[in-house]
Amino acid sequence: MAVWQKPRFTAIIANMVEKVIPIRLDEGKGLTPSIGAQLVTPHGHTKDTRGRTLRDLRISVTDRCNFRCTYCMPKEVFDQNYPYLAHKELLSFEEITRLTSIFSTLGVEKIRLTGGEPLLRKNLEVLIEMLAKISALDGKPLDLTLTTNGSILRKKAAALKAAGLQRLTVSLDGLDDAIFKKMNDVDFPVADVLDGIAAAQEVGFQNIKVNMVVKKGTNDHEIVAMAKHFKGSGVILRFIEFMDVGSSNGWNMEQVLPSKEVIARIQEVFPLEPIEANYAGEVAQRWRYVDGSGEIGVISSVTQTFCHECSRARISTDGQMYLCLFANEGFDFKTLLRSGKSDLEIANAVMNTWAAREDHYSEIRGSNTAKLTSGNRKVEMSYIGG
């Protein structure tokens, strides 16, 4: 029976947010999830301490990437000396499938594969095929989607579609080659990402989204050009506020362009009106063009937080469950998976972990919070999955 192991913590006072922030001394080892003494039958009603139900799971399938986006994997940190995970540390396809299956018995309906760059994981389509066979509690197939930088999408699109992937999100931060190359920092051209999106459309993906991270002073002048490009194309463009994820992207509030300003800039050229969310807990606020030529979304993770309805759990590349994008530690499910525990035991561990969840980082973020990197090191997005 797994026992809750209290990590060794010390504490500092973060004066701006007046909150005690724990610092792990035994860095690199996840917390042991508690299976509990009385096993209960898995169900889809587990709520966390703030009344939020588990619905979505994001799975990082690799911590590696062929881009070095300055806001995510800056070159100076993610160089040839960076300690990427060894292959044996990664969850295997069988382990990911088993875990997904267990999460589906707990009410999870939506799975997003991410990374790092998920298409770099060898034979990813084989994993997709395995996941596509899993049903949600209501008997319907899981909503299976993937976020990619699009760099090898032309090569992979047909295999992904055939394997049963339903939806795709492609990241693209501008149409100006010089700006995009500066942001991906590996000289990757815009045209190849656009070609990847075209390939996905050709093989029949209908629900394609494009994510643009907006960094004020870097690519915000590309907002209207991006809107114009995707307007009427069937692709839904979403603008994401630059976030203080990880501990290496040098975030500061001055580089955040509030989503309401994104909307205002587009409104000046193409009139927009707000529309209802597709479902409770949707992270993007939706807007449609008044002339009927499609919709856009804004993800205001910094200026209009949505922690109160956050239904997402994350599984890192090496099988740690994270309860928040900004967490600094995870729960070690890889060890549970590899130590002969039954599905029922693992399901109970997930339920107990979720039930104890308190996270609401974005609601308590202060301008100083992100600077506490020496003490409160947050995990990198490429490892935990965006």
Residue 57's SS3 state is strand
Interacting residues of 57 by C-beta distance below 8 A, sequence separation 6+: 100, 103, 108, 110, 111, 112, 312, 313, 314, 315
Q: How far is the CB of 121 from ligand SF4 (least distance, A)?
A: 12
Residue of 201, 133, 125, 199 lying closest to 163 (CA atoms): 125
Q: Is the dihedral of CA 121, 325, 259, 166 positive or negative?
A: positive
Q: Which long-range contacts (CB under 8 A, 24 or more apart) does 92-95 make?
A: 93/123, 93/126, 93/127, 93/130, 94/130, 95/319, 95/334, 95/337, 95/338
Q: Does 69 bind ligand SF4 (CB under 6 A)?
A: yes
Per-residue contact track with ligand SF4, 167 to 206, x per CB under 6 A?
----x-----------------------------------
Residue 325 partner contact from ligand SF4, ligand SAM, none using kind-dependent CB cut-offs of 5 to 8 Å:
ligand SF4
Among 360, 369, 372, 378, binds ligand SF4 (CB under 6 A): 360
Residue 130's SS3 state is helix
The whole-angstrom separation of Cα 248 and Cα 306 is 24
CA 80 to chain centre: 25
**Other CB atoms closer than 10 Å to residue 192's CB: what's the count?**
13
- Determine the Cα angle at 334 with ends 105 and 136, to 5°: 15
Residue 310 partner contact from ligand SF4, ligand SAM, none using kind-dependent CB cut-offs of 5 to 8 Å:
ligand SF4
Q: How far is the CB of 378 from ligand SAM (least distance, A)?
A: 11
Residue 361 partner contact from ligand SF4, ligand SAM, none using kind-dependent CB cut-offs of 5 to 8 Å:
ligand SF4
Q: How far is the CB of 357 from ligand SF4 (least distance, A)?
A: 8
Q: Does 311 bind ligand SAM (CB under 6 A)?
A: no
CA distances from 233 to 13, 190, 230, 266 (A): 50, 17, 5, 17
Residue of 293, 213, 284, 202 lying closest to 255 (CA atoms): 213
Q: Does 219 bind ligand SF4 (CB under 6 A)?
A: no
Q: Does 324 bind ligand SF4 (CB under 6 A)?
A: yes
Q: Are 34 and 87 in contact (CB under 8 A)?
A: no
Q: How far is the CB of 319 from ligand SAM (least distance, A)?
A: 18
Residue 161 partner contact from ligand SF4, ligand SAM, none using kind-dependent CB cut-offs of 5 to 8 Å:
none
Q: How far is the CB of 260 from ligand SAM (least distance, A)?
A: 17
The whole-angstrom separation of Cα 378 and Cα 380 is 6
The whole-angstrom separation of Cα 121 and Cα 60 is 10
Q: How far is the CB of 370 from ligand SAM (least distance, A)?
A: 10
240 vs 349, beta carbon nearer ligand SAM? 240
Stretch of residues binding ligand SF4 (CB under 6 A), selected from 17-25, 66-74, 233-241, 342-350: 66-74
- Determine the Cα angle at 179 with ends 58 and 174, to 5°: 50
101 vs 362, beta carbon nearer ligand SF4? 362
Residue 242 partner contact from ligand SF4, ligand SAM, none using kind-dependent CB cut-offs of 5 to 8 Å:
ligand SAM
Among 46, 100, 104, 149, binds ligand SF4 (CB under 6 A): 149
Half-sphere exposure of 90 (CA within 13 A, CB side): 19
What is the total count of residues that contact ligand SF4 (CB under 6 A)? Answer: 23
Q: How far is the CB of 212 from ligand SAM (least distance, A)?
A: 8
Stretch of residues binding ligand SF4 (CB under 6 A), selected from 121-129, 159-167, 258-266, 320-328: 320-328
Q: Does 160 bind ligand SAM (CB under 6 A)?
A: no
The whole-angstrom separation of Cα 279 and Cα 282 is 6
Residue 30 partner contact from ligand SAM, ligand SF4, none using kind-dependent CB cut-offs of 5 to 8 Å:
none
The whole-angstrom separation of Cα 205 and Cα 273 is 26
Q: Does 240 bind ligand SAM (CB under 6 A)?
A: yes
Interface residue list for ligand SAM (CB under 6 A): 65, 71-72, 114-115, 117, 147-149, 171, 211, 213, 240, 242-243, 245, 249, 381-382, 386
Interface residue list for ligand SF4 (CB under 6 A): 65, 67-69, 72-73, 115-117, 149, 171, 306-307, 310, 312, 324-326, 359-362, 382
